[in-house]
Amino acid sequence: PCPRQVRSYYVDWRMLRDVKRRKMAYEYADERLRINAIRKNSILPRELQEVADKEIAALPRDSCPARIRNRCVITSRPRGVKRRWRLSRIVFRHFADHAQMSGVQRAMW
């Protein structure tokens, strides 16, 4: 009954890993924020900041937001992804040409 392709799995394992990293980053976001607030400080003593350094390094690696890669949602392409649509350039062109992107038109001037 659905006109589009039904995707019940992630496109590939890299996409799955990216999803896991995003979830972990969400969980540890608050803690990272607070520890970083202690670290990036000129008021608190340096020893405290060093302790905070060690603590943040001890957190799981996947909780770091820097490890998240904005992949294409449809094809899981890591490069050429426009942030507004979360699509890779190829998929974006495909949809835009088939008039499936609202408000997107071929440029001509």
Partner 1 sequence: KDKSAASKDGTPEGASKRQEDGTETPKQQLLDIIGDMKVEVSYRKKLEQLKGRERKKQALKKLEGLDDESYVPQGTTEDTQRHKPLNPELVKAASAVASSLPRNKKETESELLAQLRRHEETTDKQKKGGTINIRNVISEMTVKRQTPAQRGARISSHISLQLDEDGQRTRPERSSAQSVASTRSLKVGKRLNIFTKASGEPEHALKTVSSPTIWDLEFAKEVAAVTAQPPRNGFEEMIQWTKEGILWEFPIDNEVGMEDDGEFHEHIFLDKHLEGFPKEGPIRHFMELVICGLSKNPYLTVKQKVEHIEWFQKYFEEKKELLQEI
Interface residues toward partner 1, by CB under 8 A: 30, 34, 37-38, 41, 43-45, 47-48, 51
Q: Among residues 50 and 97, whose Cβ is nearest to partner 1?
A: 50
Q: Rounded to the nearest whole angstrom, what is the least distance from the CB of residue 3 to partner 1 in the complex? A: 20
What torsion, rounded to 10 degrees, do the Cα atoms 55, 58, 61, 65 define? -10
Check: CB of residue 32 under 8 Å from CB of residue 56. Answer: yes
- Positive or negative torsion for Cα 83, 89, 94, 99: positive
Q: Among residues 63 and 76, whose Cβ is nearest to partner 1?
A: 63
Q: Rounded to the nearest whole angstrom, what is the least distance from the CB of residue 43 to partner 1 in the complex? A: 5
Tokens of 11: 């496109």
Q: Rounded to the nearest whole angstrom, what is the least distance from the CB of residue 62 to partner 1 in the complex? A: 22
List strand residue ranges (DSSP E) for 2-79, in order: none
Q: Among residues 12 and 31, whose Cβ is nearest to partner 1?
A: 31
